[in-house]
Amino acid sequence: MTRPPSTPHLLPVATVLTPFERLSVDAAGVGAYRALHRDSFDEVVQDVRSRRASAVLVSVTRYDAHLGASVAAMVREFPQIPTVALLSHLDRATPQAMIALGSTGLSRLVDVREPTGWTQLREYLYGAQKHDVRRMVMSQLAMDLSGAAPDLFRFFEALIDASAHGDTVATLADQLHVVPSTLVSRFFRARVPAPKRYLTFARFIRAARLFENPGLSVTTIANVLEYSSPQSFGRHLKLHMHLTATEFRARFDGEAMFEHFRRELVLPYASALRLLRPLHPSLGATFARTLIH
Tell me how crowded residue 193 is: count the other CB atoms within 10 A of its CB.
18
Q: Are residues 32 and 118 in the same domain?
A: yes
Asked if 136 and 114 count as a contact pair (C-beta separation under 8 A), the reply is no
Tell me the C-alpha distance between 229 and 55, whole Å. Answer: 27
Asked if 47 and 36 count as a contact pair (C-beta separation under 8 A), the reply is yes
Tell me the C-alpha distance between 235 and 238, whole Å. Answer: 5
Strands 108-111 and 11-16: unpaired
Q: Which residues contact 193 (CB under 8 A, 6 or more apart)?
A: 187, 264, 265, 269
Q: Which residues contact 142 (CB under 8 A, 6 or more apart)?
A: 153
**Would you place residue 276 in the very low, low, confident or very high pLDDT band (cuts 50, 70, 90)?**
very high
pLDDT at site 128:
65
User: Crossing angle, helix 195-211 and helix 150-162, to 10 degrees?
Assistant: 50
pLDDT at site 215:
79
Q: Are residues 267 and 141 in the same domain?
A: yes
pLDDT digits (tens, 9 = 90+) for 85-140: 999 988 888 888 888 888 888 878 999 999 899 988 887 886 665 556 877 898 89
Instruction: Identify whether 114 is part of a domain.
Output: yes
Q: Tell me what the mean pLDDT of segment 30-40 comes to.
A: 88
Tell me the C-alpha distance between 30 and 10, whole Å. Answer: 9
Q: Tell me what the mean pLDDT of segment 241-260 comes to.
A: 95
pLDDT of 7 higher than 50:
no
Of 234 and 67, which is predicted with more confidence?
Answer: 234
Backbone angles phi, psi at 69, to 5 degrees: -65, -40
Average pLDDT score over the chain: 86
Instruction: Identify whether 71 is part of a domain.
Output: yes
- CATH number for the domain spanning 156: value is 1.10.10.60
33-37 β-sheet, strand order: 33-37, 11-16, 55-59, 83-87, 108-111
Tell me how crowded residue 122 is: count the other CB atoms within 10 A of its CB.
17
Q: Are residues 102 and 137 in the same domain?
A: no
Backbone angles phi, psi at 15, to 5 degrees: -130, 155
User: Which of 26-40, 46-60, 172-186 has the largest mean confidence?
Assistant: 172-186
**Would you place residue 1 in the very low, low, confident or very high pLDDT band (cuts 50, 70, 90)?**
very low
pLDDT of 47 higher than 60:
yes
pLDDT of 179 higher than 50:
yes
Q: Are residues 166 and 195 in the same domain?
A: yes
Q: Are residues 37 and 107 in the same domain?
A: yes
Share of the chain above pLDDT 90, in %: 52
Share of the chain above pLDDT 70, in %: 90
Range(s) of the domain holding residue 147: 133-287
Instruction: Identify whether 167 is part of a domain.
Output: yes
pLDDT at site 282:
58
Instruction: Identify whether 37 is part of a domain.
Output: yes
List 37's β-bridge partners, or say none. Answer: 15
Question: pTM of the predicted model, to two decimals?
Answer: 0.65
pLDDT at site 129:
57
Structurally, the chain folds into a number of domains equal to: 2
pLDDT at site 54:
85
